[in-house]
Amino acid sequence: MALAQEQHLADTWQTGGLKPRACDCGGTVFAILHQRVMADMRRRQFLGGTAAMLAPFLGLGLSTGNAQQPQAQDRPLLLTNLRLFDGTGKAPRAGMQVLVTGATITALLPAGEKVDGAQVIDCRGKLVMPGLIDAHWHTMLAAISQVTAMTSDVGYLYLVAAQEARRTLLRGFTAVRDPGGPAFALKRAIDEGIVDGPRIFPSGAMISQTSGHGDFRLRSDIPRAANAPLSLVESTGVAMIADGDAEVLRRVREQLMLGATQIKMLAGGGVASLYDPLDSTQYSERELRAGVEAAADWGTYVMAHVYTPKGIQRAIRAGVRSIEHGQLADEESARMMRDAGTWWSLQPFLQDEDSNVYPDAARKASQRIVSEGTVKAYALAQKYGIRTGWGTDILFNAKNTPTQGRQLAKLTRFYDPLTLLAQATGQNGELLALSGQRAPYPGALGRLAPGALADLLVADGDPAKNLDFLARPEDKLLLIMKNGRIYKDTLSAPLAG
């Protein structure tokens, strides 16, 4: 019976019968993708497989769009004639200049002050702001549809991820926190300048209990003997199954060894999960605390996927520093987050034009519950003054990746634009900084201040009114800089008329 069910599931995916949806981190599509990847890798000989996987890192076949080759600056840059949004939420102010030396903002100067030897960039009175930060972005998995995952060579999958990293940067996102997936190699390629893309704070494989949100095995894989090999999803670094304190410690320490900047543990069910219902609570407090302690020993923290009050409260008691999703939180859970100083990483899971389409009544009902909870969650976060991060969690949905900026802009229904923009810049920078010594980039992110990293945008928009300009990065972002290097510059073009 189990094999028949699995064949029916595979047939359904082949015909596109199931759709990606909000937080599909634990959806069956992960299993299908990584079974496909592993099958391809096993069929290939070493030379051919290696060449395919290296293709994106050699820059083959990437569409540059309106991007430019990043310019390494051999002298300071002085940005003048601008309105400055510094990432704190204060209104933009005029009368300032921004001095960039190398990869760092070295000074905010009064307008008109000269800097000997500096290259001057006239910003034409436009907005200068920090680069955007998405605190929940799956760099390897956002732009791959379920059909592509089922039918493409593994080399193509890596090419898509590399190309999407470039597009993410050109949407103005200069840093992301990756909440799960094999992103270590892509991060390295970006950091070494082989591929263009945002800074990545990788979590590595998500840590899940048996039957949890990250258990992607099929029914025929159960039970697993004590000495059985890892499942395909585990061996490819998407998720690791760990039960009991000792196994959690082992799996968390492995991700830290590989370079995780924070750890992702799955403490509850999800909308799209095959086995675990949305209302389920996962991991005991003792198991969660084992992961928290292992991360703390390396100077970093645990982020937890969870929706329900019971799961949220258990995670907080265990010392989790960031609640991912949490749309079903109640007043008590919100108070606990406030009192413990826990971050609330929320995503715009709303039933609108950006929502995924569900083919069955059960998942539509779960989507509606989460959507209604999202509205309540934003209200609770503001009522209790909880430190709130922002992210999209676009996953297996190439159609939605271009909406990344729009999904920030539309949240002005809950926040004033300046407060919201501060969430996606300065506040998210503080969230990333929880990684402490594991943070891979020395310097502050999300702020325009002396000593901060030189990640900034020049934009045609007024965040005191709205953030609609972020939904149109192709024509509203005039300059994109990361680490002091310019990746897009239309300011140098002649003025119209």
pLDDT in tens, the chain (497 residues): 444 444 444 444 333 343 334 455 555 444 444 455 444 444 443 333 433 444 444 444 333 345 556 766 789 999 999 999 999 999 999 999 999 999 999 999 999 999 999 999 999 999 999 999 999 999 988 888 655 645 556 667 778 899 999 999 999 999 999 999 889 999 999 999 999 999 999 999 999 999 999 998 888 889 988 889 998 888 888 899 999 999 999 999 999 999 999 999 999 998 877 778 999 999 999 999 999 999 999 999 999 999 999 999 999 999 999 999 999 999 999 999 999 999 999 999 998 888 776 677 877 888 899 999 999 999 999 999 999 999 999 988 888 999 999 999 999 999 999 999 999 999 999 999 999 999 999 999 999 999 999 999 999 999 999 999 999 999 999 999 999 999 999 998 654 43
Cβ(329)–Cβ(336) under 8 Å?
no
Q: 96 in helix, strand or coil?
A: strand
In 3D space, the residue among 423, 436, 493, 389 whose CA is nearest the CA of residue 121 turns out to be 493
C-beta neighbour count of 399 within 10 angstroms = 12
Cβ burial of 207 (10 Å; 0-12, 13-18, 19+) is buried
C-beta neighbour count of 427 within 10 angstroms = 24
Q: 45 in helix, strand or coil?
A: coil
Q: Taking the alpha carbons of 150, 153, 155, 159 in that order, is the dihedral positive or negative?
A: negative
Model pTM score: 0.87
Q: 468 in helix, strand or coil?
A: helix
Calpha distance 95→81 (Å, rounded): 8
